[in-house]
Structure 1
Amino acid sequence: MMRPPLSSAATALLRALIERTGLPRDRILLREFRSVDWNSLSYSGERHEISLRLPPPDAEARADVLVDGLSENEFDIPGHILADIVVAAGPMKGEDGSIGIEIEALTLRNE
């Protein structure tokens, strides 16, 4: 079954998270990325669940860079505002020395 491509908000959010680690894109494993539409009376957007795995040898240091101050950081997401972002789980150390991190975020359309 073919999955639909990520939305523009999801793509920009993923790009910003990867850049924050300082690692090349091809060194980070995207384990899962789920986005669902989200609406309130005044706003519309998407809720995102992201699961990443950072490789050794410096996985712990890169994970610290990613999660340190994450909720206070501003992200450039064209046409959207990052309303909320939190580390939902992790950092979790794998047997191979990699680090797993799960992040949840809410993006709102900036209309």
Structure 2
Amino acid sequence: MIHQKIRHDPATALIRAVLTLARGEAQLEEHRGTAWASATFTGMRHVMRVTLTGREGVAAGEWLASMLPEHEFQIAGHLVADIAVSAIYRREEGTPAMTLTIEALTVEAD
């Protein structure tokens, strides 16, 4: 029998985790992933934009922005080595809205 390592997609898992943390209030606007490597690790850099609308959405966005850097993610086969909100855009007129730009680095755990 041949055993192969199953590679899990860290981008999809990270997006799913962030959207879940946003309590169903966020919509993914964009995700870009680029391969990343150091002398000892391989992984992916991620940049994603999520938008949250309405009062409840903005409250969820504020909470997400404050807790995201300390959250411990469970992504099969990968570690979230770094994650941060790099930009916040707020719209007050009309329906309140917030857009977060999130940057992260995932590395293979194997």
Aligned to 2:108: 109
The alpha-carbon deviation at position 40 of structure 1 amounts to 0.5
What are the superposed Cα offsets for residues 34-66 of structure 1, whole Å, 9 maximum, x if unpaired?
A: 000000000000000000101213122111221
SS at match of 1:78: coil
1:47 and 1:107 in contact (8 A); partners too: yes
In structure 2, the partner of 1:3 is none
What number of residue pairs does the alignment pair up?
Answer: 101
Write out aligned runs for 1:30-41 (5 A).
30-41=28-39
Displacement after TM superposition at 1:67 (Å):
1.2
- Whole-angstrom distance in 1 between the partners of 2:45 and 2:85: 14
Could you tell me how far 1:105 is from its partner in structure 2? 0.1
Q: How many Å separate the matches in 2 of 1:55 and 1:101?
A: 12
Matched, 1:98 2:91: no
Shift of 1:97: 1.2
1:56 equivalent in alignment to 2:54: yes
Q: Is the 8 A contact 1:83 1:107 kept in 2?
A: yes
In the alignment, is the contact (CA less than 8 A) between 2:19 and 2:27 conserved in 1?
no
Contact kept, 8 Å, 1:51 with 1:101, in 2: the verdict is yes
Identity of aligned residues (%): 35
TM-score of the superposition, structure 2-length normalised? 0.85
Match of 2:23 in 1: 22
Aligned to 2:18, the other structure's residue is in SS state helix
Write the distance in 2 (CA, Å) between the matches of 1:34 and 1:40: 19
Q: Distance in 1 between matches of 2:102 and 2:80?
A: 13
Q: Which amino acid is the alignment partner of residue 105 of structure 2? A: L
Greater C-alpha Rg: 2
One-letter identity of the residue aligned with 1:43: F
